[in-house]
Amino acid sequence: MIGEISHFLSLSAVLLLSLVLIFNLFFFFSKIHPNQLTLSMRLFNQACWLVFISFGMYVYLAISDDFSIAYIANHSNSQLPIFYKITSIWSAHEGSMFLWIVFLTAWSILFINSLNNNHPLKKFTLLMLSLIILGFLLFLLLTSNPFERILPFGAVEGADINPVLQDPALAIHPPMLYLGYVGFVISFSFITAYLLNGNFELQWEQDIKNWSLVAWIFLTIGIALGSWWAYYELGWGGYWFWDPVENVALMPWLAATAFMHSLFASSKSNVLKTWTMFLGILIFALSLFGAFIVRSGIIDSVHSFANDPERGLYLLSFSGLITLFALTIFAYRLPALNSSKLVVTGSKESFLSMNNILMITSIFSIFLGVTYPLIIESINGDKVSIGPPYYNTIFAPLILIAAIFIMISVDALWQRSMPLRRFFTAIAVPVTLSLISMYLIWWTTSVFSILAYIGIFSGLLILFRYLLRVINNLFNKKFINKGSAIAHTGLGLLFFAVSMNSILSYEKNLNLAPGQSILVDKSVQEFSFNNIRVIKASNHDVISAEVSLLQDGREISLNPQKRKYTTRGQITSESSIHATFLKDTYLTIGDQLENGSWTFSLKINYFIKWIWFSAALMVLGMLLTIFKKKVS
Amino acid sequence: MIIKKLFIFFSFIVLSTSAFNQVVYEFEDSLQEKRFYSLISEIRCPKCTSGSIASSDAPVSRDLKNKVYELVRDGSTDKEIKTYVSKRFGDFSDYRPSLEGSNYLLWFGPFIFLGLMLIIFFIKRRV
Amino acid sequence: MNQLLRFLIVLLPIVVLIFFGKILLVDEDIKFSNFNSKIFPEFQLNDLDGNPVQSGSLNGVKILNVWASWCITCLVEHPFLTRLSEQNIQIIGLNYKDSDLKANAWLKKHGNPYLFSIYDPRGDLAFDLGVTGAPESYLIVNNQVVGHIQGEMNQRKWETIFLPLIQKAKQGS
């Protein structure tokens, strides 16, 4: 019963949104009715509320174990804690699509109602948002219906969520990511509305600035959570594999980062406006592309959802149409948009232009890497694999260029070139310090890898530059933009930590019987496999190994496990991690051999905590930027 | 069942000295070791939808890892090892696309793109 | 210059759309993939009865089917293989990482569609062939491996992947 009502509410939302569009289309060509906007807004708001209530009811269905709903029966289970019953909703295609739409609707209703009724862009923005939400609702109800019933009696018990997904980080990762992805529907719709409207005297940046910054924060957290989860859950000690699905989340993030910087220039100095508009459209277009790639099954990835060409075609067509619509209007208006201002070489604007170019190049590189196997396969049938070797090689020079530009541009001035003396003093110290540090690193570690050292150098350049900035601020009272400084320090730290991790980390594969111990190396002086036990937990059996290490003079206990889940029979491996400031000791247990010994994989991962910390810094820096008091 | 098995093996171990190699992949020097771990991170798992044999527990991945280990110990070069694997599992098992033919576009594409954009930017010098 | 940019901004998404649309509309299994044919690897193994496998046994058109008694999906494809063998398609088994006792028991219980099965307990030949697991099938024509099916064999895969190759081989000779 509740399932039917919930379904009905979603259908009604479709109806109302269609009415909004038809109504406005009808009046498009005739005299504008005085209450047209008010009525449209009312219909839209009601449609949004219907979506929320529909989803709320769906959550109730999941909590109350309604296994007559096919999706809930396939992904939930009565033995799950309530938290996981709820998170099982977005553990697969139909439910996660529903969540995506709820967030899309939430962002839209908040934004559109924040605009004054006499805001010239309100109507077009409303129409864009209605069209997009309607398109996705139809996609959901027509091709990926979460309300489908198992007839006539429903399932007795749920099939259970994939045990790998019964994890808090993985539960929050999709909501954060989606909030970020769909948040950029606002910049997409508003900018398209601006272009449709045609009055280019209007200022538009301020209206969407904070909305976009908040969406960026969600996207950053979403990606970082995914990486963090992959690290501690998947058992191979890696945090980023340049997997197609990771890549399609990274592309919108790069576009969003470029957008924010460009927006800054655009609102401050009246330049880069067309760049900013293009980027504002591109972000959401890339989000749509990402949704298509993940949900159409077109690319082999561990993350792929549904393998259904019908869904793929719908998503492709719908995303393609609205993206083309926005870009065509952009291209059409381009002549009228171009300002006659020249960019002075060496000015802050020129560096922000360079930044846009670099970001677009990064996006292009990832796009090339993701589509190249498909292109080659369709031309001559050969299969090519593209992964970390490719992306690491391409990105190393790009981040070096980025680091150099960041280092120089911190001191750049608006609309005029930087005096040469200033330029040299600004870069001399960071470059010198970075080179010295690199030499010290090589001297202490004796490891060399050209790509990693490029990364280390890039990170150090940024870190030292901002260190200098902070010192200047403390002693010379020179102005420092705190939010920007923190965020960029986070970026420099990320480059540094990732590169150091790649040259210093190592792995040892061991084979021990219970009671045995072994000397591993200078650092891990003793590895003792003390005991192994079998434990029974609520929905799984556990093989639990107790290992103690004598590492760098300290005694550490590790407890890697293997779990077998009763419902699906799936076996997962739970790694045991001892994380310190400098490195993580990461232990995974393998299989038991015929002679009774067990295999272990011991990984020493350096600078891992620094990587998570750098993401936190970037988010913190952005928060400061959003909430800083307006000075002037 | 497992407890019983473990008990039997445990007593067996107590009664015998270590009869097996405790370090699974043992190398002559750290360079060899680094080469090994680097290679297995660049060879694709033939059975998984995505991922290297380093990150995979599949039986065929384990076989591949052991083979790569043997070949590294025997003195084969990285290229020889990758060719060995590709002959059996297809070109698709190398995550590092070779530098030949259309792959030139792949490796240089981003930089050509960057160059083009810079050229356009400097021609226009507009905003 | 501006005109070109405006044109590209609209054209490039269209190209991307058409490209992905085309890919979606093609059947997954037959896709575009080529299989690089290669000579069947050398091996010195016995069959499940303990007799050495003769070198000439891979002449003509043969299916090589990788199977094991521990492989559950192999049971799923077994009826189809039996039907094929009844149509005089020659199938040779490759018993993969199995015990010969269990393998022979399995064949006795479920039926034996194979001319004979190569006994590969360590998986050495399988490794040289590029086997990723069981079940898996290869098409051999005159000692050349010309076709490959991953996963279980069924009517659809047989018709779309192996049959065309078999017809091509028959025309050639």
- The answer to whether A243 contacts chain B (CB < 8 Å) is yes
Which pLDDT band holds residue A332 (cuts at 50, 70, 90)? Answer: very high
CB contact under 8 A, C13 and A320: yes
pLDDT digits (tens, 9 = 90+) for A88-110: 999 889 999 999 999 999 999 99
> What is the C-alpha separation between C28 and C19, in angstroms, rounded?
15
Task: Give buried/exposed letters for A64-85 (b at 16+ CB in 10 A, else e).
Answer: ebbbbbbbbbbbbbeebeeebb
The most confident of A161-175, A404-418, A445-459, by mean pLDDT: A445-459
Which pLDDT belongs to residue B1?
A: 56
CB contact under 8 A, C32 and A383: no
> What is the C-alpha separation between C93 and C46, in angstroms, rounded?
12
pLDDT digits (tens, 9 = 90+) for A127-151: 999 999 999 999 999 998 998 888 7
User: Which one of C36, C132, C138 would you mutate to disrupt binding with B, by most B Cβ within 10 Å of its Cβ?
Assistant: C132
pLDDT digits (tens, 9 = 90+) for B53-110: 998 888 899 999 999 999 999 999 999 999 999 999 988 899 999 888 889 999 999 9
List beta partners, residue C6: none
In chain B, the percentage of residues whose pLDDT exceeds 90 is 54
Which pLDDT belongs to residue A289?
A: 94
CA distances from A47 to A53, A122, A402, B26 (A): 10, 17, 45, 65
Flag whether pLDDT at A386 surpasses 90.
yes
Which pLDDT belongs to residue C165?
A: 87
Rounded (10°) angle between helices A348-380 and C2-25: 40
CB contact under 8 A, A510 and B21: no
Q: Is B122 exposed, middle or buried (0-12, 13-18, 19+ CB in 10 A)?
A: exposed
Flag whether pLDDT at A361 surpasses 70.
yes
Closest Cα to residue A286, out of A327, A230, A225, A240?
A327
Interface of B with C in 51-80 (CB under 8 A): 58-60, 63, 67
Q: Is B21 exposed, middle or buried (0-12, 13-18, 19+ CB in 10 A)?
A: exposed
The most confident of A107-111, A157-161, A260-264, A352-356, by mean pLDDT: A107-111
pLDDT digits (tens, 9 = 90+) for A15-51: 888 888 887 877 666 656 667 888 889 999 999 999 9
In chain A, the percentage of residues whose pLDDT exceeds 90 is 58
Flag whether pLDDT at B48 surpasses 80.
yes
Which pLDDT band holds residue B52 (cuts at 50, 70, 90)? Answer: very high
Which pLDDT belongs to residue C32?
A: 46
Q: Which amino acid, A323?
A: T
Give the nearest partner residue to C21 out of A316, A328, A334, using CB atoms. Answer: A316
Residue extents of the structural domains in chain C: 30-172
Give the nearest partner residue to B95 out of A340, A385, A573, using CB atoms. Answer: A385
Task: Identify the DSSP state of B26.
Answer: -
Flag whether pLDDT at A441 surpasses 50.
yes
Residue with the larger pLDDT of the pair A163 and A261: A261
Q: Report how many Cβ contacts below 8 Å link chain A to chain B.
A: 151
Q: Can you tell me the mean pLDDT for A154-166? A: 75
Which pLDDT band holds residue A630 (cuts at 50, 70, 90)? Answer: low
Contact A89/A98 with Cβ under 8 angstroms? yes
Which pLDDT band holds residue B15 (cuts at 50, 70, 90)? Answer: very low
Phi, psi (deg, nearest 5) at residue A87: -70, -20
Q: Which of A269-273, A521-525, A584-588, B1-5 has the lowest mean pLDDT?
A: B1-5
Which pLDDT band holds residue A631 (cuts at 50, 70, 90)? Answer: very low
Which pLDDT belongs to residue C138?
A: 93
Q: Which residue has the tokens 């620094």?
A: A610
Interface of A with C in 310-329 (CB under 8 A): 312-313, 316-317, 320, 323-324, 327-328
**Chain B residues close to A272, C-beta within 8 Å:** 127
Which pLDDT belongs to residue A129?
A: 95
CB contact under 8 A, C123 and B63: yes
Which pLDDT belongs to residue C173?
A: 58
Which pLDDT belongs to residue A437?
A: 95
pLDDT digits (tens, 9 = 90+) for C84-125: 999 988 999 999 999 989 999 999 999 999 999 999 999 999
> What is the C-alpha separation between A458 and A264, in angstroms, rounded?
24
Residue of B nearest to C127 (CA): B88
Structure tokens at C145: 């491996």
Average pLDDT, chain B: 84
Q: Which residue has the tokens 């496998």?
A: C53
Phi, psi (deg, nearest 5) at residue C99: -100, 140
CB contact under 8 A, C133 and B120: no
Flag whether pLDDT at B26 surpasses 90.
no
Flag whether pLDDT at A228 surpasses 90.
yes
Identify whether B34 is part of a domain.
yes
pLDDT digits (tens, 9 = 90+) for C48-66: 888 898 877 888 889 999 9
Flag whether pLDDT at C5 surpasses 80.
yes
Contact B47/C133 with Cβ under 8 angstroms? yes
DSSP, collapsed to helix, strand or coil, labels residue A523 as: coil
Structure tokens at C20: 């992905």
Q: Report how many Cβ contacts below 8 Å link chain A to chain C.
A: 64
Q: How many CB atoms lie within 10 A of CB A117?
A: 10
Show the domain range for B58: 24-96
Residue of C nearest to B123 (CA): C1
Residue with the larger pLDDT of the pair A372 and A571: A372
> What is the C-alpha separation between B61 and B64, in angstroms, rounded?
5
Which pLDDT belongs to residue B127?
A: 44
> What is the C-alpha separation between A563 and A543, in angstroms, rounded?
6
CA distances from A288 to A98, A218, A251 (A): 15, 17, 11
Identify whether B60 is part of a domain.
yes
pLDDT digits (tens, 9 = 90+) for A563-592: 888 777 778 889 999 999 999 999 999 988
DSSP, collapsed to helix, strand or coil, labels residue C113 as: coil
Residues 6+ positions from A146 with CB-CB distance below 8 Å: A58, A69, A71, A94, A95, A97, A98, A140
Architecture field, domain C30-172? 3-Layer(aba) Sandwich (3.40)
CA distances from A521 to A507, A552, B22, C93 (A): 11, 10, 13, 47
HSE, CB side, 13 Å, CA atoms: give it for residue A188.
Answer: 33
* Shortest alpha-carbon distance between residue A142 and chain C (Å): 19
Which pLDDT band holds residue B2 (cuts at 50, 70, 90)? Answer: low
Flag whether pLDDT at B13 surpasses 70.
no
Helix residue spans in chain C (DSSP H):
2-25, 72-86, 100-110, 124-129, 155-157, 163-172
Task: Identify the DSSP state of C46.
Answer: B
Q: Can you tell me the mean pLDDT for C74-87? A: 92
Rounded (10°) angle between helices A168-183 and A185-197: 10
Which pLDDT band holds residue B14 (cuts at 50, 70, 90)? Answer: very low
Contact A545/A598 with Cβ under 8 angstroms? yes
Contact A61/A6 with Cβ under 8 angstroms? yes
Residue with the larger pLDDT of the pair A355 and C173: A355
> What is the C-alpha separation between C32 and A92, in angstroms, rounded?
29
Closest Cα to residue A231, out of A600, A586, A610?
A586
Q: Which CATH number is B82's domain given?
A: 1.10.8.640
In chain C, the percentage of residues whose pLDDT exceeds 70 is 95
Complete DSSP assignment for A155-193: -SS-----GGG-SHHHHHHHHHHHHHHHHTHHHHHHHHH
CA distances from A473 to A479, A481, A577 (A): 6, 10, 40
Residue of B nearest to C122 (CA): B63
Contact A323/C13 with Cβ under 8 angstroms? yes
Phi, psi (deg, nearest 5) at residue C96: -105, 120
Give the nearest partner residue to B92 out of A234, A383, A573, using CB atoms. Answer: A383
Q: Which residue has the tokens 């790694």?
A: A575
Which pLDDT band holds residue A481 (cuts at 50, 70, 90)? Answer: confident
CB contact under 8 A, B59 and C133: yes
Residue with the larger pLDDT of the pair A307 and A297: A297
- The answer to whether C19 contacts chain A (CB < 8 Å) is yes
Query: Total domain count for chain B?
Result: 1
CB contact under 8 A, C127 and B88: yes
**Chain A residues close to B103, C-beta within 8 Å:** 384
Contact C62/C90 with Cβ under 8 angstroms? yes
Task: Identify the DSSP state of C161.
Answer: I
Residues 6+ positions from C129 with CB-CB distance below 8 Å: B88, C40, C41, C64, C94, C138, C145
Rounded (10°) angle between helices A36-63 and A122-143: 30
Closest Cα to residue A547, out of A561, A562, A535?
A561
Flag whether pLDDT at A424 surpasses 60.
yes
Phi, psi (deg, nearest 5) at residue A374: -70, -40
Residue of A nearest to B101 (CA): A376
pTM: 0.92
pLDDT digits (tens, 9 = 90+) for C124-152: 999 999 999 989 999 999 888 998 888 88
Which pLDDT belongs to residue A161?
A: 65
Phi, psi (deg, nearest 5) at residue A550: -105, 100
Contact A468/A406 with Cβ under 8 angstroms? no
User: Which one of C22, C23, C27 would you mutate to disrupt binding with A, by most A Cβ within 10 Å of its Cβ?
Assistant: C23
